[in-house]
Structure 1
Amino acid sequence: IRQLVLLAVLFAVTLSAEQCGPNEEFMSCGTACEPKCNEPVQDFCTLQCIVNVCQCKRGFKRGQNGCVAPGPGCE
């Protein structure tokens, strides 16, 4: 039964990862302080774990239309 549970967890993680958008990656324990276009960089962040979430890849920020490169068009 332990193998069945492990297989189910791996399957769920794989399905979630496939649903992430462009410039996003699946995080089993993501940050609560994802960089956003309309917010300044945060100096401090809580150590809160956001479970099973798609977040922007390094170098991208969350905008109205998903994860985009910082600069013009980052809204």
Structure 2
Amino acid sequence: MNDKSRWGKVAQLIDDALADESLRKKLQEGSREDKLEILTERGFTEEDRVNLEKDLQLLTPDASAAIRFWL
């Protein structure tokens, strides 16, 4: 899967979860583990996580920190 597809998949998973009223607060205020659990239940895989971690290493520290907040 190319980088654009990986990020698109994650963005869609987050967007779908935020649209669910019962999950929104948990995503916005929950721990990293809570967020990862929600995304995993929706199809986020360990391979996705590893690949995104590699991609994050290429970003600036501020951009990486902002994205890590959701992951």
Which structure ranks higher in relative contact order (CA pairs < 8 Å, sequence separation ≥ 6)? 2
TM norm. shorter chain > 0.5: no
Taking structure 2 as the reference length, the TM-score comes to 0.31
Bigger Cα Rg: 1
Structure-1-length-normalised TM-score: 0.30
Higher helix residue share: 2
